[in-house]
């Protein structure tokens, strides 16, 4: 994989040069309340690659300090996704494992006079906080004695108060120009059972308290996060200085979020898509989740190459979906077999070919990569070609496919000439009667005539039945808005029924269907019928610089 330089690596290198850091330690801290999506891939690739570049390591830490909506299902899925991308966390930690220690440090903070229990409700706290242009007002509870605060905090823990009735706040500066420093909430009451702690706790630390402590406890040196935490950094440092009782001094560095055109990235909206039944699940191949991309056939290497190519800066960026497609094609081009499939079958009968005979012809698996070897493909009197590869009367000289009176090459096989069309009761073309020329076998060196193009085919009796799923963007128009469900593309999933050449097809295996695109075998395949997801079409409008 290509090495990219970026501002984070520069900062880390400076810290090492200045003697501030010996071994680089980063962490990827997902909240286990959703499946990872391609935006998370930017964060996790940045975490792992930044540490790796300096011989350091990365931990996975589940930021599970908010019991609502968290669950073991997500913990397992996230771990699987990270491994799939090819990253191996050195340790797997859970933020909730530090609840006791965090509680003890909060008690110490109260004793230092730097935290107090506040009875204002959420709206009042917001009101007292002031605005960007006006300073905040002190809470009437700000000057409670240490003894009273200790007692109330203990009672909060013991379950004496209702949700929202009391919170623990840091005592910092209600006039700070940074609103996050105006006595931020450190603990709130929540009676939801926790996925690992059960009902042991009814008070939970807020992100701004929990996160820097977790980083500090685990020896993280560089805590990389997305840009929205920029104005929380001062508070992060305050917590490390005033709450943490050890030596480690983690440093937060922010980077821009990644957005992709026509792609929903927000967890909340992804959940709505699933819950409204607009998609078949988090692993719907149209979803930008890693499970969805995997099911569509997108490879980890393509995702990594794409993410790294988008660069990293302190600005949120939006890139074209076509750019990801480009990296998918580049990755698969030389790796997969190019096989024949017919997505809209049209029957071909070779009238001068012997009844009942099947011959097996040599075919290279990938014309651009001979290392992939060869296979045998079947040929007989009964074939299927793509319906779009035939028309009765060629429209012009540029038409390079089959038409009555014209001769084309069947790829890896012979020239065939179309002589007669048979129609069904509706007047639709049902079958084309052709003749073949046995001298024209591919690879025989025959050069007396030139065919009118080359088309694919499959042999009818050996072909396997298949459903082909083709996808278009799920959302057209505005993506991140409350009514995005109205912008669902009604044509985002097309199912075609056809055939693929005989072979062994395993779930997750990818192929190029010559002249159509890259396809991957779906888990819904069975003995009767294979299911293929089009990973990406061959055509591209994206032009890399």
Nearer to ligand ATP, 303 or 455 (CB): 303
Among residues 144, 267, 304, 534, the one annotated as catalytic is 267
Residues 6+ apart with CB under 8 A from 361: 376, 377, 378, 379, 412, 413, 441, 442
Q: Using CA atoms, how far apart are residues 383 and 109, in angstroms rounded to an integer? A: 79
| Shortest reach from residue 221's CB to ligand ATP, in Å | 16
Which of 43, 274, 332, 406 is the binder for ligand ATP (CB under 6 A)? 43
Q: What's the DSSP call for residue 490?
A: T
- Measured in degrees and rounded to the nearest 5, phi and psi for residue 470 equal -120, 140
Q: What's the DSSP call for residue 227?
A: G
Residue among 467, 448, 461, 479 nearest 528 (CA): 467
List, in sequence order, every beta strand (DSSP E) within 190-308: 203-205, 222-226, 251-255, 258-260
Per the CB < 8 A criterion, the answer to whether 347 and 431 are in contact is: yes
Instruction: Map residues 243-262 to x or -, x wherever contact with ligand ATP holds by CB under 6 A.
Output: --------------xx----
Instruction: Map residues 266-285 to x or -, x wherever contact with ligand ATP holds by CB under 6 A.
Output: xx------------------
| Shortest reach from residue 485's CB to ligand ATP, in Å | 18
Q: How many CB atoms lie within 10 A of CB 330?
A: 14
| Shortest reach from residue 434's CB to ligand ATP, in Å | 53
**Interface with ligand ATP, residue 77, by CB under 6 A:** no
Residues 6+ apart with CB under 8 A from 500: 339, 340, 341, 342, 458, 463, 464, 466, 513, 530, 532
Nearer to ligand ATP, 253 or 413 (CB): 253
Size of the site for ligand ATP (CB under 6 A): 14
**Interface with ligand ATP, residue 265, by CB under 6 A:** yes
Binders in 211-230 for ligand ATP, by CB under 6 A? 225-226
Give me the residue label for tokens 């807020």. Answer: 206
**Interface with ligand ATP, residue 39, by CB under 6 A:** yes
Q: Using CA atoms, how far apart are residues 61 and 77, in angstroms rounded to an integer? A: 14
Which of 4, 13, 31, 540 is the binder for ligand ATP (CB under 6 A)? 31
CA angle 272, 62, 227 (to 5 degrees): 70
Give me the residue label for tokens 């293929």. Answer: 532
Given the rule CB under 6 A, which of 38-46, 297-305, 334-342, 490-498 is the region that contacts ligand ATP?
Answer: 38-46
Nearer to ligand ATP, 64 or 325 (CB): 64
**Interface with ligand ATP, residue 288, by CB under 6 A:** no
Nearer to ligand ATP, 47 or 389 (CB): 47
Given the rule CB under 6 A, which of 34-42, 307-315, 403-411, 412-420 is the region that contacts ligand ATP?
Answer: 34-42
SS (H, E, C) 340-351: CEECCEEEEEEC
Q: Using CA atoms, how far apart are residues 330 and 307, in angstroms rounded to an integer? A: 14
| Shortest reach from residue 36's CB to ligand ATP, in Å | 8
Among residues 11, 31, 108, 359, the one annotated as catalytic is 31
Per the CB < 8 A criterion, the answer to whether 461 and 525 are in contact is: no
Q: Which residue of the chain is nearest ligand ATP when measured via CB?
A: 39
Given the rule CB under 6 A, which of 27-35, 244-252, 325-333, 353-361 is the region that contacts ligand ATP?
Answer: 27-35
| Shortest reach from residue 522's CB to ligand ATP, in Å | 27
Nearer to ligand ATP, 104 or 230 (CB): 230
Task: Classify residue 445 as left (phi > 0), alpha (psi -120 to 50) or beta.
Answer: left
Per the CB < 8 A criterion, the answer to whether 235 and 264 are in contact is: no
Nearer to ligand ATP, 43 or 324 (CB): 43
Reported as type and span, the H/E element at residue 43 is: helix 38-52
Give me the residue label for tokens 């890399």. Answer: 544
Among residues 52, 80, 249, 257, the one annotated as catalytic is 257
Residue among 43, 73, 473, 69 nearest 271 (CA): 69
Q: Using CA atoms, how far apart are residues 536 and 110, in angstroms rounded to an integer? A: 57
Nearer to ligand ATP, 266 or 489 (CB): 266
Nearer to ligand ATP, 225 or 298 (CB): 225
Nearer to ligand ATP, 120 or 324 (CB): 324
Nearer to ligand ATP, 31 or 237 (CB): 31
Instruction: Map residues 169-208 to x or -, x wherever contact with ligand ATP holds by CB under 6 A.
Output: ----------------------------------------
Per the CB < 8 A criterion, the answer to whether 114 and 144 are in contact is: no
**Interface with ligand ATP, residue 79, by CB under 6 A:** no
| 31 annotated active-site | yes
| Shortest reach from residue 258's CB to ligand ATP, in Å | 4
| 304 annotated active-site | no
Which of 8, 21, 26, 30 is the binder for ligand ATP (CB under 6 A)? 30
| 151 annotated active-site | no
Given the rule CB under 6 A, which of 35-43, 291-299, 332-340, 374-382 is the region that contacts ligand ATP?
Answer: 35-43
What is 174-221 written as a DSSP string? Answer: TT-SSGGGSS-EEEEE--SPBTTTBTS-SEEE-HHHHHHHHHHHTT-S
Write out the catalytic residue numbers. Answer: 31, 257, 267
Binding site residues, ligand ATP, CB under 6 A: 29-31, 39-40, 42-43, 225-226, 257-258, 265-267
């Amino acid at each position: 994989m290509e090495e990219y330089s970026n501002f984070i690596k520069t900062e880390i290198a400076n810290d090492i040069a200045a003697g501030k850091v010996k071994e680089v330690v980063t962490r990827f801290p997902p909240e286990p309340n959703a499946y990872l999506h391609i935006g998370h891939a930017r964060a996790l690739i940045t975490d792992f690659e930044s540490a790796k570049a300096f011989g350091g390591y990365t931990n996975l830490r589940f930021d599970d300090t908010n019991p609502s909506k968290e669950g073991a299902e997500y913990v397992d899925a996230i771990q699987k996704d990270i491994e799939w991308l090819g990253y191996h966390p050195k340790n797997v930690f859970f933020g909730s494992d530090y609840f006791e220690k965090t509680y003890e440090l909060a008690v110490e903070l109260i004793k230092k006079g730097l935290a107090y229990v506040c009875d204002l409700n959420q709206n009042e706290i917001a009101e007292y906080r002031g605005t960007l242009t006006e300073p905040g007002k002190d809470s009437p509870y700000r000057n409670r004695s240490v003894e009273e605060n200790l007692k109330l905090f203990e009672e909060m823990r013991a379950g004496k108060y209702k949700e929202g009735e009391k919170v623990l706040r840091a005592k910092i500066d209600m006039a700070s120009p940074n609103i996050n420093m105006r006595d931020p909430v450190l603990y709130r009451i929540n009676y939801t059972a926790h996925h690992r702690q059960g009902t042991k706790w009814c008070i939970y630390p807020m992100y701004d308290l929990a996160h820097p402590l977790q980083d500090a406890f685990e020896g993280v040196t560089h805590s990389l996060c997305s840009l929205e935490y920029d104005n929380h950094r001062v508070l992060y440092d305050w917590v490390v200085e005033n709450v943490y009782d050890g030596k480690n001094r983690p440093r937060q560095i922010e980077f821009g979020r990644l957005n992709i055109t026509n792609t929903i990235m927000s967890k909340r909206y992804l959940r709505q898509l699933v819950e409204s039944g607009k998609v078949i699940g988090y692993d719907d191949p149209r979803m930008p989740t890693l499970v969805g991309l995997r099911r569509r056939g997108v490879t980890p290497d393509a995702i990594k190459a794409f993410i790294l190519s988008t660069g990293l800066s302190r600005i949120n960026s939006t890139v074209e979906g076509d750019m990801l497609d480009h990296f998918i094609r580049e990755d698969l081009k030389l790796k997969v077999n190019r096989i024949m499939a017919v997505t809209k079958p049209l029957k071909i009968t070779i009238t001068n070919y012997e009844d009942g005979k099947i011959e097996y012809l040599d075919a290279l698996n990938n014309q651009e990569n001979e290392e992939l070897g060869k296979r045998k493909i079947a040929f007989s009197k009964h074939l299927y070609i793509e319906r779009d590869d035939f028309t009765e009367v060629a429209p012009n000289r540029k038409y390079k496919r089959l038409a009555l009176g014209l001769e084309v090459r069947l790829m890896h096989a012979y020239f065939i000439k179309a002589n007669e069309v048979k129609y069904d009761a509706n007047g639709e073309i049902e079958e084309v009667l052709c003749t073949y020329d046995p001298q024209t076998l591919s690879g025989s060196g025959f050069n007396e005539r030139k065919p009118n193009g080359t088309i694919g085919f499959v042999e009818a009796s050996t072909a396997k039945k298949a459903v082909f799923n083709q996808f278009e963007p799920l959302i057209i128009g505005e993506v991140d808005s409350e009514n995005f469900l109205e912008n669902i593309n009604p044509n985002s999933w097309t199912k075609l029924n056809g055939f693929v050449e005989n072979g062994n097809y395993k779930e997750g295996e990818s192929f190029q269907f010559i002249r159509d695109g890259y396809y991957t075998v779906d888990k819904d395949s069975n003995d009767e019928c294979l299911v293929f997801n089009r990973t990406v079409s061959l055509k591209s409008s994206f032009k890399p610089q």
